[in-house]
Amino acid sequence: MAAEGMSPLEQFEIHRWVPMNIGGVDASFTNSSFFMVLVVLLSTAFLLGGMRRGTLVPGRWQSMVEVTYEFVASMLSENAGHGSRKFFPFVFSLFVFIIIANLLGMIPFAFTVTSHIIVTFTLALIVILLVTILGFIRNGVGFLRLFVPKDVPFYIVPLLIVIEILSYLTRPISLSVRLFANMMAGHTMLKLFGGFVVSLGLLGIAPWLFIVALSTLEVGIAMLQAYVFTILTCIYLNDAFHPGH
């Protein structure tokens, strides 16, 4: 009871709720799946509920929905330029999914979907595949200009092309690790200091105060990381539209 219940990493464990096996692949419905479904339901309810009446002068709820929309719309147009408008639904879904998942994780006993690298890596992979395919569709072979650096002597160009391609391939990793590491580190820290509060007794007031401050910071990070993920998606989309800047 003591050692098992106190582990700060216990919160990241996956539990199979409804075991399923489809063609040899373990496709069980887990607590992670449950919270993903919950995130989708919550974001749908948030958006549809806010726009239910759609009044000219928005109420509080409608304002929140409109602010979210405006925020993502301006982010996309400022960073990805013209032509990117078609991908607004994708970018908006991504942003809403990540921010709701992050914020939902801040509720005690909730599972944080984005604290698992497989989830964030899949999201990043979707972004990178989309950008790569889109880049080739829109620019054909011209998309490869992205990998050819300008203003360098011709004899090191081949080497630099290899390095640029490797650097392009690191994008999904740095994109996903940043989100996952921030969420996991924050939640581990909260649990760790939560354990101190219990074990220190009266002196626990000090870590408790720290947790109050840390929780506020974590809410900020939850939103900031959703923002960072989305803005990087926009910047990468810009590469697909205008390679070679």
Q: Based on CB atoms, which residue is closest to other proteins, 18 or 166?
A: 166
Check residue 102 for interaction with other proteins (CB under 8 A).
Answer: no
Site for other proteins in 168-207 (CB under 8 A): 169-170, 173-174, 177-178, 181-182
Residue 88: other Cβ atoms inside 10 A? 15
Among 108-116, 139-147, 159-167, 204-212, the segment contacting other proteins (CB under 8 A): 159-167
Check residue 116 for interaction with other proteins (CB under 8 A).
Answer: no
Buried b (16+ CB within 10 A) or exposed e, 17-28: eeeeeeeeeeeb
Whether 221 and 182 have beta carbons less than 8 Å apart is answered as yes
In three-state secondary structure terms, 26 is strand
Whether 143 and 136 have beta carbons less than 8 Å apart is answered as yes
Pairing of strands 29-30, 25-26: unpaired
Sign for the pseudo-dihedral over CA of 50, 56, 93, 26? positive
Q: For residue 29, what are the β-bridge partners?
A: 18
Site string for other proteins, 33-72 (x = CB under 8 A): ----------------------------------------
Question: Which member of 162, 198, 205, 209 binds other proteins (CB under 8 A)?
Answer: 162
Looking at the chain, list the stretches that DSSP marks H as alpha helix, in order from N- to C-terminal side.
2-6, 31-50, 60-80, 88-105, 117-139, 157-169, 171-200, 205-241
Among 27-35, 88-96, 109-117, 162-170, the segment contacting other proteins (CB under 8 A): 162-170
Whether 209 and 166 have beta carbons less than 8 Å apart is answered as no
Check residue 228 for interaction with other proteins (CB under 8 A).
Answer: yes
Q: Based on CB atoms, which residue is closest to other proteins, 114 or 182?
A: 182
In three-state secondary structure terms, 108 is coil
Q: Based on CB atoms, which residue is closest to other proteins, 39 or 222?
A: 222
In three-state secondary structure terms, 25 is strand
Check residue 79 for interaction with other proteins (CB under 8 A).
Answer: yes
Question: Which member of 157, 166, 205, 209 binds other proteins (CB under 8 A)?
Answer: 166
Give the DSSP letter of residue 1: -
Q: Based on CB atoms, which residue is closest to other proteins, 73 or 110?
A: 73
Among 9-17, 115-123, 135-143, 161-169, the segment contacting other proteins (CB under 8 A): 161-169
Residues near other proteins (CB under 8 A) are 74, 78-79, 162-164, 166-167, 169-170, 173-174, 177-178, 181-182, 224, 228, 231
